[in-house]
Structure 1
Amino acid sequence: MANTDLIYAVVGAALFLGSMLPKLLTQKILSVPIIVVGVGMLIGWLMPVESRLVDVIENPEFAERIAELTVIVALYGVGLALDRPLSFRGWTTTWRLLAVGMPLAILGVAFLGWWALGLTPAVAVLFGAILAPTDPVLARDVQVDGPRFGSATGDEPDEARFALTSEAGLNDALAFPFVFLAIYLADRGGPGQWIWSWLAWDLVGKVVIGAVAGWLLGRLVGMALYRLHIGNDQLVGYAEPAGAVATLLMAYGLGDLVGGWGFLSVFCAALGMRSSERGNDKHARFHEFVEHVENLLTLLVLLLIGTSFLADAVPRLEWSHVGVAAVVLLVIRPLAAGISLIGDKRLMRGERWVVSAFGVRGVGSLYYLCFAMGYFSKEDGWALWPAVSLVIVSSIVLHGTTATPAMNALERYRQRVRPRPVAP
C-alpha cells in the first residue's frame, strides 16, 4: 500500500518551495520548472514502486485529468493576455506557424518515429501529434506578460512574444484532429474509407464549432459584465476573479457539448471576453488570478512528470530516444517554423530565429499521450513514453535556461537594427 502520508508531505514541501521560487528566480538562468521537475525526479528515485505518485501508462487517468485542467486554465490565461484583436492580417505570423509550421513538424516527427524508433504508421502519427503543441503552460518566459491597463488600441509591443503566445493558444487545440487521425489509422483500416469525413468534421467542422462557441460565450459574458449596471456601477465591479475560472470551465464544457474542440473554445472565450471591452483593468485582475491557479496546477504536473520520468522512462531509455529528442527540439521544430516564416514581414530576422527556436514542449504533450491511452495499447504507450518524456524534460531544461538570455539578446538586437528617430 502506498505511503500516502509521505506523498502528502513531499508534495506539500515541493509546492511550498515552488510558490516562492518565481519571485526568487526572476531574470535568473535557473527556472522554476527545472527545479520542480528535479524535485519530482528526486521523489521518483527515493520512493518505492508502491508509493509512486502516478504511472502515466499503466494508470493514465489521473495524469490526464490534472494535465487537462492545467492546459485549459493556461489557455484562458493566454487568451486574456493578448491585447491584439483577432484578425487575419494582424495574426499573419500565427496563421503561418499553424497552417505550415505545425503540419510540417507533425510530419517530420512522425517520419522520425517510424524511421528511428520503428513505430507503426498509426503510432508514428500519434507521436507527431503528441509533440506538435507549443506549450502554453511552460512557455511563459517567452510570452507576453499579460493584459495592459488602458490598452484599447490592441497594440502588442513585442511581435515575437505575441507570435509565440498566440501560437500556443491555438495549436494545443489543433493537435486534436491529428491525434484522431492516428486513432482512425489504428482502428478504421485504410484511409480511403474515412479520410474525407476526418477532413470535413475533425479538421474543419469541430474547429469552427469550438471557436465560434467559445467566442460567443466569452463575448456574452463580457457584454454582461461590462454593459449591465447595478445602480450606477458596472456588473463587472461585483465580479470576483474566480469568475474567470468559472468562465473557462463553462467554455470547455460547452465546446465539447456542442461537438467542437474544448481547448479551442476556452482560448476563444478569453479572446471574446477581451473584445467586449479591451482596456478595462479587470482583465488584468482576472488574468492574475488565473495565473495563480495555473501556477499551482503546473507545479503538480511537473512533479508528476519528474517522478514518472525517472521511475518509468529512464530505465527504458535507449540512445535512439536521445537522438530523437535532440532532432525534435533542435532540428524539426526550428526548421518547420523557420520555413513557415519565410517572407514574413512582421518579424525581423532575429525575431524569426527566436520564434522558430522556442517551440516549448510540455504539459500538452503529457495530456495527449494519456488521452491516447484510451485508444492504443499499453505496449504502444511504453514505446512512446521514454521519447516523449525525454523531449518534455529536455525542453524544460533547454528552453528554461536559454529563454531569459535569448529575450535579452533579442531586445539588444532590436535596439541595434531599428532606425533611430531623426531629430527635427
Structure 2
Amino acid sequence: MLDPYIAFMLGLGVVVLLIAWLPLALKSLPFSLSIVCVLLGLGLFGLGWLRFDPDPRTYDTVVEKLCEAVVIISLMGAGLKIDRKIGLRSWATTWRLLGIAMPITILSVTLLGFYGLGLPVAMAVLLGASLAPTDPVLAAEVQVGKPRSGEEDEVRFALTSEAGLNDGLAFPFVHLALVIGLAAAASRSWPTLSDLGGWFLVDVLWRVGAGIAVGWLVGRGLGWLTFGRGRTKLSGTRDGLVAIGATLVAYGVAEVFHGYGFLAVFVAALVLRDRERNHEYHEALHDFSEQIERLLMMLVLVLFGGAITTGLFASLTWTDVLAALAIVFLIRPMAAWMSLLGSGHPARERGLISFFGIRGIGSFYYIAYGINHGDFGSSERLWAVVALVVLVSILVHGISATPAMRWMDRARA
C-alpha cells in the first residue's frame, strides 16, 4: 500500500505540473483552468480517492483564510499588470462600474434574497455583498495581459480594474450585514441611528480611507526600495518573491490600522507600478504572483469540486436555482449595462463588460467572513446559493471567455 506521505508528494507534484502546463494547453480552447480544477475535484472526491469531507460549512475558518490568501495575491498581480495610469477620465469606465453597477447589484441581490428566497434581512444583505464583486482570481481570460504586453483594450482594462477595487469596496456592506444581524440578535427589528452612524464612520469612511492611504504609502516606500538609486535596490535581485512580500506587508499594515487590506494591496501594486512604469522587473513580480495565485486557486477549486460531491447543494430548492441564474444572467449584466449608458463605448464592448461579471473565490471569502464574525443562524442554504452562482459563473464564463474575446479582437481589427 502506498505511504500517505509519498502519495501526497506524488499528488502535489502532479498538481504543480498541471498548473504549469494547463494554461498553455487550454489557451486555444474554450475551456478555462478553473473548469478543469472543479472537474478534478469532482473526480478525486467522487471516486473516493480523497476520503475527507471538504465542506466549507465545516471548515469555515480555514476557508476564510485560504480564500483571503488567494484574493490578496491575485490583487497584487492585477495591480501590477495594469499599464494605464490612474485618473478620473482614463478610469471612467471603472468608476461607473464601481459607483453605479455595484450598488445596483448589491441592492438587487439583497431584494431577491429577502423577497424571493425568504432570507432574513441580514443574511440577504450578506448575500448581496458577497455576490456583488467580480473576481480577480478566475477572470484571467478576460483581463489585461502581462505588464508592458500591450494587451489592454477597454474591455480587459475595465474588468481588471473593477475586480481589483470592488473586492475591497464590497466589504462595508458585509459589515452592514453584521450590524443588522447584531440588531436582530438583540431583538431589535432594525439597527439604531447610532449603529448605522458608527458603521458609516468606521466601516465605510475610516476603513476605506485607511486602506487606500496605507496602500499608497506602502507602494511609495516599496517603489523607492525597489527602483531607487544604489546597488541595494530590490530590482537588482530580479526575484519575483518581492511581490509576495509586498502583498503581505500592504495587507498586514492596513489590517493593523483597521483598514481594508484588499484595497491596500491593489493600491500598493498600482503605486509600485507607477514608480518605474516600463521597468522589466514588473514582469518578474507579476509572473511570480500569478504562479502562486494559480497554485492556491487550484487547491480551492479542487476542494470546491469535492464539496459538491459531498452534499454542498443538498439544501437547494428550485427557487434557489432560479435565483442563482437570475444573478448571473440578469442582475449583473443589467446593472453593468445601465452603468455604461452614455459612456461612448461601442455596444459590443458594453455587452462584454456587462456579461463577464465573474463570481468566484472572493464570494467564498465574504460568506465565510460574515458567518465567522456574525450570527446568521443556519448557513447551509446561503452557502448552497453562493456556491451555485460561482459554479454557473465558472462554467458559463469559462467556456465563453476565449471565443468572446477573440470575436471582439476581430471586430475591432
TM-score bracket, normalised by the shorter chain, equals over 0.9
User: Paired residue for 1:413?
Assistant: 411
User: Paired residue for 2:59?
Assistant: 59
User: Paired residue for 1:74?
Assistant: 74
**C-alpha spacing 1:236/1:15, structure 2 compared with 1 (3 Å):** closer
2:387 is aligned, of 364, 386, 389, to 389
**Which amino acid is the alignment partner of residue 299 of structure 1?**
M
**Which amino acid is the alignment partner of residue 161 of structure 2?**
S
User: Paired residue for 1:182?
Assistant: 177
Q: Equivalents in 2 of 1:298, 1:132: separation in Å?
A: 20
User: Paired residue for 1:260?
Assistant: 259
**CA deviation after TM superposition for structure 1 residue 325, in Å:** 1.1
Identity of aligned residues (%): 40
Q: Equivalents in 2 of 1:234, 1:56: separation in Å?
A: 43
1:8-407 to 2 correspondence within 5 Å?
13-47=14-48, 51-52=52-53, 54-148=54-148, 157-188=152-183, 189=188, 190-191=190-191, 192-230=193-231, 235-345=234-344, 347-377=345-375, 379-407=377-405
Q: Equivalents in 2 of 1:379, 1:10: separation in Å?
A: 37
**CA deviation after TM superposition for structure 1 residue 58, in Å:** 2.2
Q: Equivalents in 2 of 1:201, 1:209: separation in Å?
A: 10
**C-alpha spacing 1:4/1:135, structure 2 compared with 1 (3 Å):** farther
**Which amino acid is the alignment partner of residue 55 of structure 1?**
D
**C-alpha spacing 1:108/1:12, structure 2 compared with 1 (3 Å):** farther
Instruction: Say which SS state the counterpart of residue 278 (structure 1) adopts.
Output: coil
**CA deviation after TM superposition for structure 1 residue 217, in Å:** 0.6
Q: Equivalents in 2 of 1:74, 1:49: separation in Å?
A: 28
Q: Give ranges in structure 2 of 5+ residues lacking alignment.
A: none
TM-score (norm. length: structure 2): 0.93
**CA deviation after TM superposition for structure 1 residue 63, in Å:** 1.4
Q: Equivalents in 1 of 2:298, 2:50: separation in Å?
A: 22
Instruction: Say which SS state the counterpart of residue 72 (structure 1) adopts.
Output: helix
Counterpart contact for 2:178–2:373, Cα < 8 Å: yes
**Which amino acid is the alignment partner of residue 75 of structure 2?**
L
Q: Equivalents in 2 of 1:309, 1:238: separation in Å?
A: 44
**C-alpha spacing 1:283/1:306, structure 2 compared with 1 (3 Å):** same
Q: Equivalents in 2 of 1:317, 1:34: separation in Å?
A: 22
**C-alpha spacing 1:413/1:396, structure 2 compared with 1 (3 Å):** same
Q: Equivalents in 2 of 1:262, 1:349: separation in Å?
A: 35
Instruction: Find runs of 4+ consecutive structure 1 residues off by over 6 angstroms.
Output: none
Question: Which moved further from structure 2: 257-266 or 16-25?
Answer: 16-25
Q: Equivalents in 2 of 1:40, 1:253: separation in Å?
A: 32
TM-score (norm. length: structure 1): 0.90
**CA deviation after TM superposition for structure 1 residue 257, in Å:** 0.6
**Which amino acid is the alignment partner of residue 354 of structure 1?**
L
Instruction: Say which SS state the counterpart of residue 327 (structure 1) adopts.
Output: helix
**CA deviation after TM superposition for structure 1 residue 4, in Å:** 6.2
**Which amino acid is the alignment partner of residue 333 of structure 2?**
P
Counterpart contact for 1:40–1:304, Cα < 8 Å: yes
**CA deviation after TM superposition for structure 1 residue 12, in Å:** 5.3
Counterpart contact for 1:135–1:362, Cα < 8 Å: yes
**CA deviation after TM superposition for structure 1 residue 299, in Å:** 0.4
Instruction: Say which SS state the counterpart of residue 171 (structure 1) adopts.
Output: helix
Q: Give ranges in structure 1 of 5+ residues lacking alignment.
A: 416-424
Count residues with an aligned counterpart: 404
**C-alpha spacing 1:120/1:28, structure 2 compared with 1 (3 Å):** same
Counterpart contact for 2:359–2:390, Cα < 8 Å: yes
Q: Equivalents in 1 of 2:80, 2:391: separation in Å?
A: 28
Counterpart contact for 2:316–2:381, Cα < 8 Å: no
Question: Deviations along 1:187-238, whole A, 9 cap, x unmatched?
Answer: 03423232122222212221111011111111111122212212xx855213
